[in-house]
Amino acid sequence: MPLRLSRFVLPFTAAFVLGALVSCTVTFTDDVKYSCKLDADCGGDGFVCAVGPNPSVCCKPTGEELCDKVDNDCDTIVDNTGKQETCNGLDDDCNGRVDDGYDLTSNVNHCGACNHACLVSETCKRGTCVVRPESSCFDNFDDDQNGKTDCADPSCDQRSCGAACICSNLTKAEDLCSDGVDNEGDGKTDCLDTDCLGKTCREGGCTCTADGGQIETDCADGKDNDMDGQGDCLDPDCVDQFCTLPDIYYRCTAAKQCKCNGGVQIAEVGSVFCRDAVDNDCDGEIDCDEATCSGQSCSVDGGTGCECFMGKKAEKSCANLADDDGDTLVDCADTDCLQGAICAAPDGGVGACSAAKACE
């Protein structure tokens, strides 16, 4: 706390003779607060006795209050400008923060910079004005005030326009084709609505067609899904479709029967059938899983880099810098490449796989 004394100004030089003539000047510093009761206590020179809510001290008025840590108007309160903060790059309310209360990243009236206002159809995101999306696409109101309402507004594309309704191509579209309800109100229900083309109908197992009809698509559930009186393989829609779990590969035939691979059961043997990812003989085992495929090529190109061995794929070429058996391990790094196997050395020459699984 500064020393509080009565302020006296001595505007003259006192001369004293003590063996020699000596000049003495007394000066009071302005960085010390001097208590007072009357203006006269402050010694003139423009100083007055400031009266306010705080203890009275000598003060020299300099004009209206500024944010400068000085009591400019001499009311004993520092920096009380009485101003509200505005967005102008200044600290108007003298709280030490410039433009506080204004988020230039999201304020539509000050987006990215003070007084940079977005249009009524825009919002402020990360300091940039962007087109405001329609807040609701089924309230019959132009929320973003761009002259386009609900589904007619591009911002509503693929958004809900109500129960089982979706905005598509600037209009409403049926989004559920199995409930028997005209969800978007165009007078057409489920598969009779072109919006449902290719979509699932009824409870599933059938798909809407372009002519407003429906076809059976689940041929293994024991149901007549498209309600044409014929279920599963008895329905012509199911020809060549799976009639069992896909990995068993039984399909419906034109003769309305559920047969292995459509009636053509093929032995799992030979390089072609041991690498086609198909259970050709429908016994639940595919390619190298089959004992009959042991020793057969499992390479995509039918080459010798991969060979079926003991029910799995095995790397046979350890010098082609390729992952032949698809286990992410290449040449010597693959456990299939035994120590001593010929490999491609780092220098481009020929080496042998070492115990450390490297080509040396």
pLDDT in tens, 161-170: 999 999 999 9
5: left (phi over 0), alpha (psi -120 to 50) or beta: beta
> What pLDDT score was predicted for residue 9?
41
For 177, residues 6+ apart whose C-beta sits below 8 A from its C-beta are: 190, 191, 193, 195, 196, 199, 200, 201, 208
What is the rounded average pLDDT for all residues in the chain? 85
Integer CA distances (angstroms), 321 to 84, 343, 348, in order: 74, 9, 11
- Percent with pLDDT over 90 in the chain: 49
Integer CA distances (angstroms), 348 to 100, 240, 356, 359, in order: 67, 51, 19, 11
- In this prediction, residues 130-134 reach a mean pLDDT of 78
> What pLDDT score was predicted for residue 170?
94
With cut-offs at 50, 70 and 90, classify the pLDDT of residue 27: low
> What pLDDT score was predicted for residue 11?
39
Residue 8 scores a pLDDT above 60: no
24-28, 241-245, 310-314, range with greatest mean pLDDT: 310-314
Residue 246 scores a pLDDT above 90: no
- Percent with pLDDT over 70 in the chain: 91
Higher pLDDT, 209 or 91: 209
Task: Give the SS3 label for residue 238.
Answer: helix
Q: Could you tell me if 79 and 72 are in contact, meaning their C-beta atoms sit under 8 angstroms apart?
A: no
Residue 255 scores a pLDDT above 70: yes
- In this prediction, residues 319-329 reach a mean pLDDT of 94
Higher pLDDT, 34 or 194: 194
Residue 30 scores a pLDDT above 70: no
Integer CA distances (angstroms), 59 to 49, 72, 94, in order: 6, 8, 20
> What pLDDT score was predicted for residue 49?
92
Residue 284 scores a pLDDT above 60: yes
- In this prediction, residues 315-339 reach a mean pLDDT of 94
Higher pLDDT, 22 or 95: 95
- In this prediction, residues 264-289 reach a mean pLDDT of 88
Q: Answer whether 0.95 is exceeded by the pTM.
A: no
**Pairing assessment for the beta strands 14-17 and 21-24 based on DSSP bridges:** antiparallel
With cut-offs at 50, 70 and 90, classify the pLDDT of residue 19: very low
Q: Could you please report the per-residue DSSP string of 67-106?
A: SSSS-TT-SS-TT---PPP-SSSS-TT-SS-TTTT--TTT
Sorted by where each begins, the domain ranges of the chain are: 1-82, 197-260, 266-316, 318-360
With cut-offs at 50, 70 and 90, classify the pLDDT of residue 3: very low
> What pLDDT score was predicted for residue 84?
84
> What pLDDT score was predicted for residue 29?
62
The phi, psi pair for 83, rounded to 5°, reads -90, 150
With cut-offs at 50, 70 and 90, classify the pLDDT of residue 146: confident
